[in-house]
Amino acid sequence: MKLQRKNRLRALSLGAVAVSGALALTACGSDDNGGGSGSSTSSASANASSIKCDNAKGQLLADGSSAQKNAIDAWVKNFSQACGVQINYKGSGSGAGVTAFTQGQVAFAGSDSALKPEEVTASKKVCSGGQGIDLPMVGGPIALGYNVPGADNLVLDAPTIAKIFDSKITKWNDAAIKKLNPTAKLPDLKIQAFHRSDESGTTDNFTKYLIAATPANWKYSGGKAWQAKGGQSAPQSAGVAQQVKQTSGAIGYFELSYVADGIKAVSIDTGASKPVAPSTESATADIAAAQVVGTGKDLSLKLDYNTKAEGAYPMTLVTYEIVCDKGNKADTLPATKAFLRYIASEDGQKILSTINYAPVPDEIIAKVRTTIEGLS
C-alpha cells in the first residue's frame, strides 16, 4: 500500500510539472525574446508564436557556409511557417557566399570567416552608402570525424593532426597515434584524410587552429582554400562527412552536426588534464572567451584556438551572417531584418543547442540584436 501511494504521488507530481511546462510555453505569447524549451519540437512551437514578421514578404535568396546549413534549415522552417516568406539558402560554402554577396546576388550570406578588407571594399558597390558587416550568429565545434574499425574513443593532439593532414603520418597504427591511444586496437590501415575542395570558412578555422597550436608542424599560411599536399577532397561539409562515412580508414573535418551513424569524433589532447570531446558545451567554453575585434557595426570575433582551459574545445568556429549595414535593397530589407531578428532572439538561439550547435554568448548576441535593428 505504501508503495502504491508513493507511486501515485509521484505521478501527480510529474503531472503538475507537465502542466506548468505547458502553461510556460503558452505564456510565451509574442515576446520576441521569450524562452524556448530545450527540445526541438517544443522550441519550434514556441518560436512560431513569438516571431515578429513586421512587413516581411516575398522571398530571400542567401548562400554561404555549409557548416551552418542544418541550423539555417531549422530556422527557415519556423520563420517561413510564421511569416510566409520563402528563404532559399543554398549552403554552397563560405567562399561562394561572400562572392554572391559582393556581387549583389543575395540578401545576406553566411561565412565561417569574417570579411577581409578587400571583401569589405567590394561590398560597398552593392551596399549603397554602407558596407558589408559580420554578425556572429552560430557557434560550434569543428569535429574530426573518423571511420576506423575497432578504434573507439580516439584521441589526437595538434602535432599528430597536422601530420595526418599533411601526409606525414599515413597509417593508423603509427607510433605517434599509438602513444596517444595506448589501449586502442589500431589497425595497419592507410589513413584517408579528406579536406574541402571548395573555399571554406571551416577550412580557414581548422587551419587557424593548427597554425596556433602547432606552428612547427603546420607551415602553411591558412585561409579558405586548402593548401597542404596530398589527401582527398570533397565539396561542402556534407560531402566530406559522406566520404568519411563510406571510406574505411577515413578522417575529415566538419561541423559537429554532421557526425552521424558510422562516424565517430576525435577527442583532442589540448594539454588540459584530460582530452576534450567536441560538444555544444565544450565549444561554448571556448567561444565564451572570444573578443569582438570588428570596428563600427562590424562584430567579427577573435577566438582562442590554442586554449588549454579545462573542458574547452579548441577547434571551434563562429558563423557570421553578412549583410549591408546601410543600402540594403528595399524589397528584401523587411524580410531580412525579420529573419535575422528571429535567429538572434533568445528563441532562435535556444534551438542551436538541440542540434549540436553552440549559441553565441549573451554579451555578444545582445550587440548583434541592437545592430540588426539599425539595418537600413
Instruction: Report the binding-site residues for phosphate.
Output: 65-67, 94, 112, 200-202
Residues shown for the chain:
376
Classify burial at 6, counting beta carbons within 10 Å of its beta carbon; exposed 0-12, middle 13-18, buried 19 or more.
exposed
- The amino acid at 118: E
Closest Cα to residue 308, out of 270, 268, 360? 270
Residue numbers in the known binding site are 65-67, 94, 112, 200-202
- Could you tell me the three cell numbers for 195? 579536406
**How far apart are alpha carbons 254 and 68 in whole angstroms?**
10
Q: Which residue has the cell 513586421?
A: 54
- The amino acid at 43: S
**How far apart are alpha carbons 251 and 194 in whole angstroms?**
6
**How far apart are alpha carbons 239 and 258 in whole angstroms?**
10
Q: Which residue has the cell 578522417?
A: 251
- Angle among Cα 76, 66, 48 to the nearest 5 degrees reads 15
| Phi, psi angles (nearest 5°) of residue 244 | -65, -45
Closest Cα to residue 80, out of 47, 32, 111, 113? 47
